[in-house]
Amino acid sequence: MDSIMHKIKHRVFEIIQTAADDDKASKIFDIFIITLIMLNVVLVIADTFTLPYYIKYISRRLEVFSIIIFTIEYILRLWTSDMLYPQYGKFVSRVRYIFSFMALIDLFAILPFYAPLLIPIDLRALRILRMIRLLRIFKVSRYTNALSVVTSVLKNKSNQLISSVFVVALLMLISSVIMYNIENPAQPDVFINAFSGLWWAIATFTTVGYGDIYPITACGKVLSSVIALLGIGLVAVPTGIISAGFMEQIEQEKEEHTENKEKHFCPYCGERLD
């Protein structure tokens, strides 16, 4: 009996994980979940429109169906978590899974439905909770390497990114305080405090320039010009770091693909190795 349950559990684990090339059942499961996620995103957007009653009725039924499927998926992933973390015991592997990023996304995806059933909550808070349903789109990252590549690049370049962001933030703080001291006497109702200067600094550094707050004194205009020119270069630094990270990631994947290909084919005759 234990052997049969173990086989069933192992097969369930194979199906709910990202599909292997030759596993049709797992591929069908992946396509079904991705389709359901996209449908739910459409429903969240549709909720912002004034819709006829029958469409709202269908939307609600689809929401309930989705919650049932996502809940079953979450339970199955929790049940098979010891196969995901074979180096740990059942309890530890379940705890590790519960607090993993994707498990938290799975939980938050179904939380807005169950929250009103568990605790009394007013309609305004319920509306905010229902917005959390948009997090379901992050579940797609389980079936595609797009977000994993982004995460890998940010992780590899974290030191450079933190350094560049720190420099930009430091200059923003300094310029906001200087601008406040320059402009406050001339327009005290606009540059009320340093936070007003910080809002100006952010808009100027990022070259957005909303125009709701700007200097009118000569010194303020000179400082604003300098900050705008610095912003063009400094704000582009993190973008350059991320771009370089993506190029390195692409080259690394190419090298790994070439190495894997060489392992499976004879370097002399080119025949596939068994």
Long-range contacts of 92-98 (CB under 8 A, 24+ apart): none
- In this structure, the number of other CB atoms found within 10 A of the CB of residue 161 comes to 18
User: Exposure pattern of 45-72 as b/e (b: 16+ CB <10 Å)?
Assistant: eeeeeeeeeeeeeebeeebeebbeebee
What confidence score (pLDDT) does residue 169 get? 87
Give tens-digit pLDDT for 51-81. 888 888 888 898 889 889 989 999 999 999 9
Dihedral of alpha carbons 163, 164, 166, 167, sign: positive
Distance of CA 265 to the CA centre of its chain: 38
What confidence score (pLDDT) does residue 252 get? 80
Cα separation, 192 vs 170, in Å, equals 21
Q: How far is CA 250 from CA 18, 117, 154, 218, in A?
A: 22, 47, 14, 49
What is the average pLDDT across 146-169? 80
Cα separation, 247 vs 149, in Å, equals 11
Cα separation, 107 vs 101, in Å, equals 10
What confidence score (pLDDT) does residue 136 get? 63
Length of the chain (residues) = 274
Looking at this protein, which amino acid is placed at residue 106?
D
User: Exposure pattern of 147-157 as b/e (b: 16+ CB <10 Å)?
Assistant: eeeeebbeeeb
Give tens-digit pLDDT for 116-126. 777 776 545 55
